[in-house]
Chain A
Amino acid sequence: MLAGFIGFEVIRRISPLLHTPLMSLTNALDAIAVVGAIILVGEHKTNFSALLGTLAVIAAMSNVVGGFLITDRMLRMFKSSHPAKKP
């Protein structure tokens, strides 16, 4: 709840300029679900749970890597604009 509120406050102030990177970043953060999946695989309680867990880790991990990578690429482009022309 608290986190939701903090998130609400923080995100409301983000300019539309950065909405796309914002979404890909939250996407990457969301992939923190990988934590739950890792435990699931690691504990290896049943083969079934380990199999689902492995698939889950793959899915989440690709989000982590892809999400951070593309967010950074986008932001690098914003950086490369020309400060000299700033009003």
Chain B
Amino acid sequence: MTTQPFIEIIYLIASALFILSLKWMSSPGTARRGVWAGEIGMVLAIAGTLLHRGIIDYKWIAIALVIGTIIGIPLGLVKMTAVPQRTALSHAFGAFCVTLVGTAEFYLRSPNVPHFMMAVLCCEVILGSLTFTGSLMAAGKLQEVLPQRPITYRGQNIVNLGLLAIAVAIGIYLILHPGAKQLFPAMVGIPLVFGVFMVIPIGGADMPTVISLLNSYAGLSAAAMGFVLDSRLLIIAGALDGSSGFILSVIMSKAMNRSFTNVLFGAFGQVQVAAGGKEESKPVKSVSAEDAASILMSVNKVVIVPGYGMAVAQAQHKVRELYDSLTRRGVDVRFAIHPVAGRMPGHMNVLLAEADIPYDRLADMEDINGDFPQTDVALVIGANDVTNPAARTDPSSPIYGMPILDVDKANIVMVIKRGMSPGFAGIDNPLYYMSKTLMLFGDAKTFVGEIVRDLGGVQAEVAQSAK
């Protein structure tokens, strides 16, 4: 592919901007600058490409760019709770694009494709198409169009691995015989099926890992496309995306105490059937919103542990009122965020930020766990498994070894929960039966609202805000 040096320079600048853009993402203060850098880089790259000598037909480019923009705008304006679905969907789009380009390139070049290029092309198309359907499935599960429960059957792994093996085998055959056009559709089609099968057995709790993994695949397929088209810009952008997705999935797996293969091949749901169902009738202490309010009023240090249940109940803004009301009274309020809280990496931070809770009050698991023993009240809202002390104490528990928030070490634990039903993993939580645990049964939003009202009812002196 012949490219003028001028375009090469533009691409170089764009690549540099992309790297800077990610660098600036490392702190909230500079993150928006990072987005601008990315945008400028993107505009430069597209403009540079339009100057490409080989381009003779601008009409369809323009039409496609406009349609893409029109589709993109609503995708950029979804609600914050829907961000995980949107992200999965955009992975699907990205992979779709890569697959289409790969397919077109193959038919343009076949049968004169060098071995190396054919190998890369195979990677591109296989990764692209499995990411496409896999991401669509993930988006469907997150949007709850599809059942969230893992769907499993016997021999599932064999079927899945077999499919992948066939696709790879076809890929190898094509590398050796690039002229075998009739096999190409199979190489696209089989990974498409594999993508569906890959995500079907994965349950809702593992979604953060899966999304990161698909992110990584989408990036890698784009990088492969960069090799096919001999475009350094694409290789760089794809590699950045691929490595970021990879790191995130490693972080997520660690947070769930699962290995990659475990997430991909072991459906979580099966293990718990045996674990659930026992010890139903242990006594729990339940208190009213009024009591909870009076306890909260008399303490100094509160850590709120939000989970996805809070987001489902749309309670973020009530939680923010609670935060305000307590802070005004001089109570030190912090938020403890488990790495897998929410449906994708960092999702909970975004949800709380949307409710205007200052980000310096949000603490990671590692930072806050040491503070729980000095905490007066740990208020758990809509979180379950990430607070389950069985992960620390009970080797027979399916989640044993998973890093958790040590809320059980706080002086008092309050849990807002709709009922005694177990969480995602279907595991009973011993936390609820501890003598210092107070259960607050009810809808998170109304309950927090009631606490806030009761707090306001008592005319306390307005203390200066915490710290």
Interface, chain A (partner B; CB < 8 A) = 1, 3-8, 10-46, 48-50, 52-82, 84-87
B30 nearest CB across to chain A (Å): 10
Main secondary structure of the interface of B (DSSP, over half): helix
Is there a chain A Cβ closer than 8 Å to B72's Cβ?
A: yes
Known: A23-B215, A29-B241. A65 touches B54 (CB 8 A): no
- Closest 3 pairs between A and B when the two form their complex, measured CB to CB: A61-B68, A69-B76, A65-B72
Could you tell me if B19 and A10 are in contact, using CB atoms closer than 8 angstroms? yes
Which of A55, A64, A68 sits near B35, CB closer than 8 Å? A68
14 A–B contacts from the bound complex (CB under 8 Å) = A4-B239, A7-B244, A19-B346, A23-B345, A28-B42, A29-B21, A32-B222, A43-B55, A44-B57, A45-B108, A48-B104, A49-B105, A65-B71, A69-B73
Q: Across the A-B interface, how many residue pairs have beta carbons closer than 8 Å?
A: 369
Could you tell me if A52 and B103 are in contact, using CB atoms closer than 8 angstroms? yes
Residue of B nearest to A45 (CB): B108
Task: Collect the chain B residues with CB atoms within 8 Å of residue A15's CB.
Answer: 26-27, 364
A37 nearest CB across to chain B (Å): 5
Interface, chain B (partner A; CB < 8 A) = 1, 14-15, 18-19, 21-23, 25-28, 31-32, 34-35, 38-39, 41-42, 45-46, 49-50, 52, 54-58, 60-61, 63-65, 67-69, 71-78, 80, 83, 86-87, 90-91, 93-94, 96-98, 100-101, 103-105, 107-108, 211-212, 215, 218-219, 222-223, 225-226, 229, 231, 233-245, 247-248, 251, 327, 337, 339, 344-347, 349-350, 353-354, 356-362, 364, 465-467
Could you tell me if B60 and A66 are in contact, using CB atoms closer than 8 angstroms? no
Task: Collect the chain B residues with CB atoms within 8 Å of residue A18's CB.
Answer: 25-28, 31, 346, 349
Could you tell me if B94 and A63 are in contact, using CB atoms closer than 8 angstroms? yes
B62 nearest CB across to chain A (Å): 10
Residue of A nearest to B48 (CB): A35
Main secondary structure of the interface of A (DSSP, over half): helix
Could you tell me if B349 and A61 are in contact, using CB atoms closer than 8 angstroms? no
